[in-house]
Amino acid sequence: MYVKQGKLCIPIATFFFSIHLLSNRLCYFSQAITAMVQKAMEYIDLTPDMDTRIELIKTLSSVSAGKIYVEIERARLIKRLAKIKEEQGKIDEAADLMQEVAVETFGSMAKTEKIAFILEQVRLCLDRQDYVRAQILSRKISTRVFDADPSKEKKKPKGDSIVQDAPAEIPSLLELKRIYYELMIRYYSHNNDYLEICRCYKAIYDIPAIKEDPAKWIPILRKICWYLVLAPHDPMQSSLLNATLEDKNLSEIPNFRLLLKQLVTMEVIQWTSLWDFFKAEFEDEKNLPGGALGDKAAADLKLRIIEHNILVVSKYYSRITLNRLADLLCLSLQEAEKHLSDMVNSKSLVAKIDRPMGVVSFGTAQDSNGVLNSWATNLEKLLDLVEKSCHQIHKETMIHKAVLKA
């Protein structure tokens, strides 16, 4: 078998032997070995079959291993080999190959190429369902890098440490931002972390190329609304909910504006009427970009409406019977007690249940600062009362002594 080099045909074995021989010559400068590896990489696409192509990539990878001046070439070779393994259905081997390279330490690699390489590592880990390693790799990318202005970045001085230009197939920074958050949506969907999924969709929604096209931002804004409703109630969820309601684009999808408006209104929501109204919208999500909301989404949506109703009841009642609470929630007595207990355990509500009397007493949650301030206020009142008592005792004593002297 031969490799074509212009009009010449070189035997494969001789070609591989020459690469090893030239790379082991200590008298050669690093620039010469770099040029040799770069030139040999041009022959990868000229190999006669896949086995020869894989062998050539492995040979060049072994030659460039441990040499800082060809670390970028080795990373690109590993990426090509991993792509071949993935096309052959060997996802585990492809992921293991990609994890051998730590491109975040490469000073001369372009920023976009680094991000693209790490995102490929994350994608392969998600494909093999290695969610722990995918999270570790994703943390190597700071989300602030996507908001940087490339025109304002300082250029490195010319010399040996100059940053190489990224290959033409590497996406732009904004495209990498979209890919990053789509991968993070896949990761958070595994744990049903609805609030983080919503924040990822919000980041994609803020990309200028997305906001300019209604066909792109309408499905994403729908997803933001759904995941806001599915997320548990907390300060971050409440802040995102109010910020989304102020978005002018929400007027293009009035049904979802109505849905979010119901959640910020302190009124009890009837689950049956809500589900009848939004069931078609819910099922239509699987036909839109981003796919369906998940198997648990419908059950979690009902749970969030129940939690909302309990919070509304706690705003208007300090004490209420369990029977009345169950009627307001349209639940059985046991289900109402269960949901109320779950909210108390999760510290999203302060309440006590008197089972013999069948009465629920709601309270206000206080943090450590509130408890400390209340204790200090009570202590101040106590000291003030003691001081007044001492003053009254001293006054009565003086009057009694004056009477005795008289």
Determine what percent of the chain is predicted with pLDDT higher than 70: 89
Q: Has residue 379 been placed in a domain? A: no
Same domain, 243 and 290: yes
Q: Has residue 348 been placed in a domain? A: yes
CATH code of the domain covering residue 323: 1.10.10.10
Same domain, 273 and 333: no
Quick: pLDDT tens for 40-58: 778 777 777 888 888 888 8
State the average pLDDT over residues 190-197.
91
Q: Has residue 226 been placed in a domain? A: yes
Q: How confident is the model at residue 33 (pLDDT cuts 50, 70, 90)?
A: confident
* Residue with more model confidence, 244 or 65: 244
Q: What is the pTM of this model?
A: 0.79
Q: What per-residue confidence (pLDDT) applies to 182?
A: 94
Q: Has residue 100 been placed in a domain? A: no
Q: What per-residue confidence (pLDDT) applies to 158?
A: 45
Q: Which domain holds residue 250?
A: 202-312
Q: Has residue 353 been placed in a domain? A: yes
Q: Has residue 261 been placed in a domain? A: yes
Same domain, 230 and 332: no
Q: Has residue 164 been placed in a domain? A: no
State the average pLDDT over residues 232-250.
90
State the average pLDDT over residues 308-325.
90
Same domain, 217 and 303: yes
- HEC profile of the chain: CEEEECCEEEEHHHHHHHHHHHHCCCCCCHHHHHHHHHHHHCCHHHCCCHHHHHHHHHHHHHHHCCCHHHHHHHHHHHHHHHHHHHHCCCHHHHHHHHHCCCHHHCCCCCHHHHHHHHHHHHHHHHHCCCHHHHHHHHCCCCHHHHHCCHHHCCCCCCCCCCCCCCCCCCCCHHHHHHHHHHHHHHHHHHHCCHHHHHHHHHHHHCCHHHHCCHHHHHHHHHHHHHHHHHCCCCHHHHHHHHHHHCCHHHHHCHHHHHHHHHHHCCCCCCHHHHHHHHHHHHHHHHHCCCCCCCCCHHHHHHHHHHHHHHHHHHHHCCEEEHHHHHHHHCCCHHHHHHHHHHHHHCCCCEEEEECCCCEEEEECCCCHHHHHHHHHHHHHHHHHHHHHHHHHHHHHHHHHHHHHHC
In this predicted structure, the answer to whether residue 341 has a pLDDT above a threshold of 70 is yes
Same domain, 268 and 354: no
In this predicted structure, the answer to whether residue 197 has a pLDDT above a threshold of 90 is yes
Q: How confident is the model at residue 366 (pLDDT cuts 50, 70, 90)?
A: low
Look at residues 297, 312, 327 and tell me which one is the last residue of a structural domain: 312
The structural domain count of the chain equals 2
Q: How confident is the model at residue 1 (pLDDT cuts 50, 70, 90)?
A: very low
Q: What is the mean pLDDT of the chain?
A: 84
Same domain, 304 and 211: yes
Q: Has residue 390 been placed in a domain? A: no
